[in-house]
Chains A and B, each alone.
Chain A
Amino acid sequence: MKRYQVVGSVIATLGFAGLATVITTFGAANPGQKISDGARVASNLNSTLVVGVDNGSPTFTDNFNPYAPSNRTGTSYIYEPLFFVNNLNGKVTPWLATSYAWQGNKKLVVTIRKGVKWNDGQPFSAKDVAFTFNYLRKNPSLDSQGLWQVLSRVTVNGNKVEFTFKSSNVPTFYAIASTLIVPEHVWASISNPATKVITDPIGTGPYIVGNFTPEQYTLKKNPTYWQANKVKVNNVEFPVLGNNQTAALKLSSGQWDWATLFIPNVQKTYVAQDPANNKYWFPGGGIASLALNLKKVPFNNIAFRQALAYAINKQQIAQQAEDGYVSVGSQAGLILPGQKQWLNPALPNHGIYLYNLAKAKQILSKAGYKTNSQGKLLDKSGKPISFTIQVPAGWSDTIQTMQIIQSDLSKLGIDVQVTTPQYASYSQNMNTGQFEASLMFYGGTASPYTSYNTLLNSEYATPIGQNTTTNQERFSNSRVDQLLNNWRQATSQVAQRKDAYQIEAVMYNQIPVISLDQAATWSEYSTKKFIGWPSASNPYASPSPWGQSPLMILTHLVPRS
């Protein structure tokens, strides 16, 4: 009996190994013999762009309502904004509007494009634009950018729309510019917009809904689009994304032309599959930072924060935790190189605190911090300093980042614990200020003003225990408030830049948060069927297949041949 068991397990093992060998050989011998559905579709329809972005959980529900929180990603290929704003560098391109002008700093006049039609054939006009904004006023739950906190009225004047502000707030232009415009003749009669299911969306955009199934949908070119001659991609197909592992396999096997996935070792797993065509570009989309609770000791001490900024090896974080896909974040809070026109030239190293452990120790001892016999750093009352950093559970790259920080700070004699609560409790801790240190994303907005205002405005720095969704590190500085206020009133970029430089100096010297790295926008694309993608050398749009970038990208793509 003993003997048979051994034989049995040997047979089993051999069987498995044999199966694997057969499969591998088969795969290698018949590389062209793809019978999976995605590949079949891809080889037949060369004018179809297949985009792996829409998750559908687990299948798609047919809803292209621009106001529904769980609408299809394709919705943003159908509705358009007044201006296209490139979040990488703040460049503004006229879209449904042709130009804008400030009258004083409390009135914005936008000229609307002529000759644009809704995809049901009705003409688009300034009335639709004014309707859209007044519709947001009537339905505050749709006003996700908080426009009516600063606007007082929006009116039509011929082919112009006039936005009047309660108090001057020039940077709100970017929020107005990127608001999606909806047709009055459809929406005027819809009284509960968020719950309305829209299966046949009426927009001005380059695409209309073609085929829809719960596993996949197709958008087809809108023949009456106002820049139809620029749209060379006839169909855009959205298959269900699935989980990360199988999605990465589908992308690597060439079934998808465009995706936005974090893939470990993208060079080997994706680019190497087809080096001539498979490309990636991961530009910075925001800054990952370490936020310290400024209402607590010892974080309220600037010298302490400065020592931490020097002691954290940001280069190592970018290399190890983010696989070297991202670059180190500037303390100025700007995404570089895109926002370099805003960067204060007086800041050393583009505002980056280079790793310098000796300097960190020197700053600490100069500020009066001492270490005990075990090498632990002591606070002013003589107790060893120790604190906890929180990161949302499952965010593996940022968890690794915090572990690097943990080991860096142990060299200063500080004990750091890393906790990983669920996102909801992480976010609640941030809102109420019940944290010591935390991962925080900021920045990446078209105008740096928006980033600085949400990060630094003392109006939002509520006492601990009270909710705030911005300025959660609870920074307050009357000089910065004054500068932000100046910026709200400045319509010229020269004046705005003056304020920016001074705020950056405060960001650099007072360290409200410690910038770590530039969080990447993941984007992989194939040039097998289409070329003309945005890239580091031609950054005309962020390369993401969601949001408003696709409008710009799909008017740039051309077939390869």
Chain B
Amino acid sequence: MRFILRKFGFLVLTVWVAITLNFIIPRLMPGNPAEAMMAKYAQQGPVPPQQERALELMLGLPTGSLWQQYWGYINNIIHGNFGVSYSFFPESVLSVILQAMPWTLILVGIVTILQFIVGTLLGVYAAWHRGKKFDSSATVLFSFTSAFPYFWIALALIYLLAFIAHWFPISGGYSGSLSPAFNLPFIESVVYHSILPAITIFITGIGGSLLGMRNNMINTLGEDYIFLARAEGLKSKTVAIRYAARNAMLPIVTNFAMSLGLVVGGSLLMETVFAYPGMGYLMSTAISNQDYPLLQTLFLFITISVLLANFAADMVSGILDPRVRKGAAR
């Protein structure tokens, strides 16, 4: 119980720090959103200077001292009011985020889980048969793929599979000629558009979980209890899964929880390259438009989900591993 309370107290404290940093950091940046919007227009051609003044009036830039702004900000967060987005003006930040969230959660979420399961299983297999054909080729191949930059592999896939071969669409989340609805053609289109982004995340992510699991597992395989289990004449499969893999999993679970938390933030580079309508792409455009309200809220969502995932991981390892609990109680 004390363990849980301690962890919870820590959670509350970090959330407060995150919220406060979230308030301060955007304000340290130079310029204001009207100027950022001007930047967007200026790339299309010269803009009349009066337009900047008009934009400032329209956006209603923050007034009052920083202190007042801070209290207003905390108060609004408590009431779930995140303000109006500058770049989607006059839409509210929350509605913009709620539109982007499902895309990311479903695509990045599913692929992350899948990539974790497949990677871990392959890692177990590679470690068990270490030094054999599969292990040596997989280790090399996946060290290779996990070193690929996201955007590079995404662009390569787009160029080869979409532009030259015409197997897949070049970008987007679904065909623009369909209205989002829960029907077969729309779902088909969504799946069709998500294949390349999914492959990108899968290829670049799987190496990490495979290699991590393999290395942990090889360490575990050297432990005395594995030796004992073998000496007792247990089946190889039982030793591998029930004894070695289970113990080797512990640090991986924490890692996995962290990456699940990060899923909320989307996969920034992948989504930007594919123009996939999720949180990552939203964030990258919010940055370039200096859309403070949107950015703050996005960071808040990401931070809180990472913290919650961490908290959950702490709880899980507390349950799985008595040493963690005892260490905390001491």
Cα-based distance from A286 to B87 in the complex (angstroms):
26
Cα-based distance from A151 to B166 in the complex (angstroms):
57
Q: A145-B50, A240-B172, A245-B273 are in contact. Are A58 and B166 (CB under 8 A)?
A: no
Does the CB pair B54–A142 fall under 8 Å? Answer: yes
Report chain A residues within 8 Å CB of B161: 23
Does the CB pair B50–A34 fall under 8 Å? Answer: no
Report B272 CB to chain A, min CB distance, Å: 6
Cα-based distance from A427 to B132 in the complex (angstroms):
61
Does the CB pair B58–A428 fall under 8 Å? Answer: no
A141 in the interface, Cβ–Cβ < 8 Å?
Answer: yes
Does the CB pair B166–A30 fall under 8 Å? Answer: yes
Cα-based distance from A519 to B179 in the complex (angstroms):
39
Contacting A at CB under 8 A, from B57-84, are 57-59, 84
Report chain B residues within 8 Å CB of A24: 160, 164-165
Q: A35-B167, A59-B99, A423-B39 are in contact. Are A7 and B137 (CB under 8 A)?
A: yes
Name the one of A69, A216, A428 contacting B55, with C-beta atoms under 8 angstroms: A69
Does the CB pair B37–A69 fall under 8 Å? Answer: yes
Does the CB pair B174–A8 fall under 8 Å? Answer: no
Stretch in contact with the other chain, from B16-24, B25-33, B219-227:
B25-33
Does the CB pair A427–B39 fall under 8 Å? Answer: yes
Does the CB pair A215–B46 fall under 8 Å? Answer: no
Contacting B at CB under 8 A, from A35-51, are 35-39, 41
Q: Mark A190-207, 1 if CB is under 8 A from B, else 0.
A: 000011110000000000
Does the CB pair A392–B49 fall under 8 Å? Answer: no
B212 in the interface, Cβ–Cβ < 8 Å?
Answer: no
A246 in the interface, Cβ–Cβ < 8 Å?
Answer: yes
Stretch in contact with the other chain, from B5-13, B112-120, B275-283, B298-306:
B275-283
Does the CB pair B48–A8 fall under 8 Å? Answer: no
Does the CB pair B29–A4 fall under 8 Å? Answer: no
Report A473 CB to chain B, min CB distance, Å: 14
Report B222 CB to chain A, min CB distance, Å: 17
Does the CB pair B57–A23 fall under 8 Å? Answer: no
Q: Mark A439-451, 1 if CB is under 8 A from B, else 0.
A: 0011111000010
Number of interface residues of A (CB under 8 A): 86
B171 in the interface, Cβ–Cβ < 8 Å?
Answer: yes
Report B274 CB to chain A, min CB distance, Å: 7
Report A195 CB to chain B, min CB distance, Å: 4
Report B177 CB to chain A, min CB distance, Å: 6
A146 in the interface, Cβ–Cβ < 8 Å?
Answer: yes
Report chain B residues within 8 Å CB of A519: 45-46
Q: With a 10 A CB-CB cut-off, give which of B37, B38, B44 has the most chain A CB atoms.
A: B44
Contacting B at CB under 8 A, from A244-270, are 245-246, 249-250, 252-253, 255, 260
A275 in the interface, Cβ–Cβ < 8 Å?
Answer: no
Does the CB pair B163–A392 fall under 8 Å? Answer: no
Cα-based distance from A359 to B63 in the complex (angstroms):
54
Cα-based distance from A521 to B277 in the complex (angstroms):
28
Does the CB pair B170–A253 fall under 8 Å? Answer: yes
Name the one of B29, B45, B96 contacting A285, with C-beta atoms under 8 angstroms: B45
Cα-based distance from A194 to B281 in the complex (angstroms):
26
Does the CB pair A9–B144 fall under 8 Å? Answer: yes
Cα-based distance from A179 to B26 in the complex (angstroms):
35
B178 in the interface, Cβ–Cβ < 8 Å?
Answer: yes
A-B contact pairs, 20 of them (CB 8 A): A1-B136, A4-B136, A23-B165, A26-B165, A37-B176, A58-B271, A58-B275, A58-B285, A144-B48, A146-B50, A194-B58, A211-B177, A214-B99, A242-B275, A249-B159, A249-B163, A423-B38, A424-B32, A469-B49, A544-B45
Q: Which residues of B contact A (CB under 8 A)?
A: 29-32, 35-39, 42-46, 48-55, 57-59, 84, 87-91, 96, 99-100, 131-133, 135-141, 144, 155, 158-180, 189, 271-278, 281-282, 285-286, 289-290
Q: Which residues of A contact B (CB under 8 A)?
A: 1, 4-5, 7-9, 11-12, 20, 23-24, 26-28, 30, 33-39, 41, 57-59, 61, 63, 68-70, 140-146, 194-197, 211, 213-217, 237, 239-243, 245-246, 249-250, 252-253, 255, 260, 285-286, 392, 395, 421-425, 427-428, 441-445, 450, 454, 469-470, 519, 521, 544, 546
